[in-house]
């Protein structure tokens, strides 16, 4: 279905007449080495059905064992979202049949989730803060993947057969569910996007997941409903599934608001249904009518012990929660005294953490920033490396190069050569300078000799300088730099040239 066949209300009319309510469900795949209830590896992209065992294939007699690292990550996520951590909670069986789920049920958490009642303060584009209340974060396992073959669309309709890959079955998932988000009004689509953006950043800073929306390690479902202005009761919601980019979150919410408003205004009702989002034209179309919780016949999982994290462990984990990334950025920007624009550039270049590490290794902020944002960004492009940290040079090595420049052992031009040698795998900066004899000619008497040679070779220029035309010194400095293969301190050479001609700089 495309937008052309769907009635949409103008956005400003939607806002005049209705109050939107949102509910965001985010699934995040944890980056643990092994699955939630067995020892199978979780690496993305392996040959189908090579990362499976009796437990994650649901074979008779197999028994699950909880992955402690996954519980640790779940608790840390809960703490980062200001939730209470349950002192005792059980897993639950969510019963339903689907071919990608060999056990015939999913182990999840239902009424005893690991984390409840938190919030995340989200910074909107104009700097205002919007608090999103968190209902719960719970642990569960991922399903396998179906591949529908033989049709034009990759969907089950029109396919000749389906293939199943159980590598993903049993990968640890955390589902984070918000309370109904009210009061966003016109900014509801922006709030939805900003919330997922902020949550994704928090998860990344915790190091619990690689949060790649395009690979499905972070998946977002957006619930949207409208109520007439002034109404007390929420309207019926729809749940748009698997909105797989940050921009799409905003687009999907906006589209649903406009579509639902048109339906309501025409006197029809909203169906409680799931909807599919279409990346290509930014529309949604009807999926299945929603099950209710009763349909799943949840019951406590009998094969697993309850989770009972002791308070001391939870407190220990609380100590590992980093500052929110946006607060950290603001603090660093102010420490470094950089303008919004300069700071934004280095963040967008993906250089912030590298610059911090380079400064920690002894470099000045300016030198670290200039290496990463200018020269090394250029090198990354040349080498087709998508992330700066994938370049074969470390912040420590960059700091060492900066140190050599500061100590006037090498000048900036030679420093670039040294960096090139490091990138080529030739060793550490200091060693390279030594081994290749790249150290600056700082011995004045050696430079003096070169200066005299250069002046003697260009007597007319020497004369000009003597008569006070100090700009003419540039040519002589250039000749000396050439003679020393660029390894002299150009400023010092200039001083010596002027001194030799008896003029002040």
Residues interacting with ligand ADP, by CB under 6 A? 21-25, 135, 177-180, 223, 225, 234-235, 237, 239, 290
In this chain, which residue has its C-beta nearest to Mg ion?
25
Contact of residue 202 among Zn ion, ligand ADP, Mg ion, none (CB under 5-8 Å per partner type): none
| Minimal distance, residue 214 CB to ligand ADP, in Å | 23
Distances (CA, A) of 431 to 26, 83, 439, 488: 50, 52, 11, 19
Axis-axis angle for helices 444-457, 490-500 (nearest 10): 60
Distances (CA, A) of 17 to 13, 188, 254, 424, 497: 6, 14, 15, 63, 79
| Minimal distance, residue 70 CB to ligand ADP, in Å | 20
Contact of residue 21 among Zn ion, ligand ADP, Mg ion, none (CB under 5-8 Å per partner type): ligand ADP
Contact of residue 42 among Zn ion, ligand ADP, Mg ion, none (CB under 5-8 Å per partner type): none
Cβ nearer to ligand ADP, comparing 24 with 28:
24
| Minimal distance, residue 133 CB to Mg ion, in Å | 16
Tokens, residue 320: 């590992």
Rounded CA gap, 172 and 170, in Å? 6
Tokens, residue 228: 């007439």
Cβ nearer to Zn ion, comparing 141 with 221:
141
| Minimal distance, residue 276 CB to ligand ADP, in Å | 15
| Minimal distance, residue 379 CB to Mg ion, in Å | 45
Contact of residue 56 among Mg ion, Zn ion, ligand ADP, none (CB under 5-8 Å per partner type): Zn ion
User: 227: which DSSP letter?
Assistant: E
Rounded CA gap, 212 and 409, in Å? 44
Rounded CA gap, 33 and 18, in Å? 47
Cβ nearer to ligand ADP, comparing 67 with 178:
178
Secondary element (H or E) of residue 241: strand 238-241
Burial 48-72 (b: 16+ CB within 10 A, else e): eeebbeebbbbeeeeebebbebbbb
Half-sphere exposure of 416 (CA within 13 A, CB side): 10
State the binding string over 48-67 for Zn ion (x if CB under 5 A, else -).
-----x-xx-----------
Rounded CA gap, 361 and 354, in Å? 10
Q: Is 70 in the site for Zn ion (CB under 5 A)?
A: no
Binding span for Zn ion by CB under 5 A among 38-46, 63-71, 176-184, 375-383: 38-46
Ranges within 208-267 binding Mg ion (CB under 5 A) = none
User: 391: which DSSP letter?
Assistant: S
Ranges within 8-37 binding Mg ion (CB under 5 A) = 25
Cβ nearer to ligand ADP, comparing 119 with 328:
119
Number of residues that bind Mg ion (CB under 5 A): 1
| Minimal distance, residue 206 CB to Zn ion, in Å | 25
Contact of residue 179 among ligand ADP, Zn ion, Mg ion, none (CB under 5-8 Å per partner type): ligand ADP
Cβ nearer to ligand ADP, comparing 290 with 329:
290
Cβ nearer to Mg ion, comparing 25 with 100:
25
Task: Tell me the three state secondary structure of residue 401.
Answer: helix
Rounded CA gap, 193 and 248, in Å? 8
Cβ nearer to Zn ion, comparing 38 with 497:
38
| Minimal distance, residue 202 CB to ligand ADP, in Å | 17
Residues 6+ apart with CB under 8 A from 142: 29, 168, 169, 170, 171, 172, 173
Beta bridge partners of 300: 92
Contact of residue 452 among Mg ion, Zn ion, ligand ADP, none (CB under 5-8 Å per partner type): none
Rounded CA gap, 317 and 327, in Å? 20
Count of other CB atoms within 10 angstroms of residue 91 = 27
| Minimal distance, residue 73 CB to ligand ADP, in Å | 20
Contact of residue 81 among Mg ion, Zn ion, ligand ADP, none (CB under 5-8 Å per partner type): none
Ordered DSSP codes for 282-320: TEEEEEEEPPPGGGGT-EE-TTSPPB---HHHHHHHHTT
| Minimal distance, residue 239 CB to ligand ADP, in Å | 6
| Minimal distance, residue 69 CB to Zn ion, in Å | 15
Selected from 30, 38, 107, 490, the binder of Zn ion by CB under 5 A is 38
Q: Is 134 in the site for Zn ion (CB under 5 A)?
A: no
Distances (CA, A) of 179 to 131, 136, 137, 171, 187: 11, 8, 11, 26, 17
| Minimal distance, residue 393 CB to ligand ADP, in Å | 45
Contact of residue 38 among Zn ion, ligand ADP, Mg ion, none (CB under 5-8 Å per partner type): Zn ion
Cβ nearer to Mg ion, comparing 25 with 201:
25
Contact of residue 237 among Mg ion, ligand ADP, Zn ion, none (CB under 5-8 Å per partner type): ligand ADP
Beta bridge partners of 240: 222, 275
Rounded CA gap, 441 and 485, in Å? 10
Degrees to nearest 5, angle at CA 377 with 373 and 382: 160
Q: Is 40 in the site for Zn ion (CB under 5 A)?
A: yes
| Minimal distance, residue 249 CB to ligand ADP, in Å | 13
Tokens, residue 221: 């479902």
The contact set with Mg ion (CB under 5 A) reads 25
The contact set with Zn ion (CB under 5 A) reads 38, 40, 53, 55-56
């Amino acid at each position: 279905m495309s937008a052309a066949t769907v009635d949409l209300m103008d956005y400003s009319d939607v806002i005049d007449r209705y109050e939107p309510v949102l509910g965001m469900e985010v699934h995040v795949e944890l980056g643990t080495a092994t699955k939630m209830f067995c020892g199978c590896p979780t690496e993305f992209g392996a040959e189908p059905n090579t990362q499976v065992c009796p437990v994650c294939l649901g074979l008779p007699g197999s028994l699950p064992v909880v992955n402690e690292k996954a519980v640790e990550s779940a608790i840390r996520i809960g703490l980062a979202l200001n939730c209470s951590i349950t002192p005792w909670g059980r897993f639950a069986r969510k019963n339903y049949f689907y071919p990608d789920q060999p056990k015939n049920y999913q182990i999840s958490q239902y009424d005893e989730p690991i984390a409840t009642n938190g919030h995340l303060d989200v910074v909107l584009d104009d700097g205002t803060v919007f608090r999103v209340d968190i209902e719960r974060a719970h642990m569960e396992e991922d399903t396998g993947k179906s591949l529908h073959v033989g049709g034009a669309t990759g969907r089950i309709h029109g396919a000749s057969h389906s293939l199943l890959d159980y590598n993903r079955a049993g990968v640890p998932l955390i589902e984070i569910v918000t309370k109904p988000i009210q009061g966003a009004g016109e900014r509801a689509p922006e709030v939805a996007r900003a919330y997922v953006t902020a949550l994704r950043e928090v998860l990344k800073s915790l190091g619990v997941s690689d949060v790649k929306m395009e690979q499905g390690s972070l998946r977002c479902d957006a619930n949207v409903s409208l109520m007439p202005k002034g109404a007390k009761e929420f309207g019926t919601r729809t749940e748009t599934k698997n909105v797989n980019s940050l921009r799409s979150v905003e687009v999907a919410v906006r589209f649903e608001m406009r579509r639902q408003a048109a339906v309501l205004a025409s006197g029809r009702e909203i169906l409680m249904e799931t909807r599919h989002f279409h990346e290509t034209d930014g529309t949604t179309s009807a999926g299945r009518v929603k099950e209710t919780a009763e349909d799943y016949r949840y019951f406590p999982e009998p094969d697993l012990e309850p989770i009972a994290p002791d308070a001391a462990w939870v407190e220990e984990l609380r100590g590992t929660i980093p500052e929110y990334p946006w607060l950290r950025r603001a603090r660093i920007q102010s420490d470094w005294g950089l303008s919004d624009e300069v700071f934004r550039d280095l963040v967008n270049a993906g250089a912030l953490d590298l610059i911090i590490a380079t400064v920690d290794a002894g470099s000045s902020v300016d030198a670290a920033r200039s290496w990463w944002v200018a020269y090394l960004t250029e090198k990354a492009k040349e080498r087709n490396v998508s992330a700066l940290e994938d370049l074969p040079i470390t912040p420590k090595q960059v700091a060492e190069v900066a140190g050599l420049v500061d100590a006037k052992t090498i000048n900036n031009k030679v420093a670039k050569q040294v960096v090139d040698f490091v990138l080529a795998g030739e060793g550490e900066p200091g060693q390279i300078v030594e081994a290749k004899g790249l150290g600056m000619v700082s011995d004045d008497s050696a430079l003096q000799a070169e200066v005299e040679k250069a002046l003697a070779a260009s007597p007319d220029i020497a004369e000009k300088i003597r008569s006070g035309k100090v700009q003419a010194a540039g040519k002589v400095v250039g000749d000396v730099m050439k003679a020393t293969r660029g390894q002299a301190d150009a400023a010092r050479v200039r001083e010596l040239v002027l001194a030799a001609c008896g003029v002040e700089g």
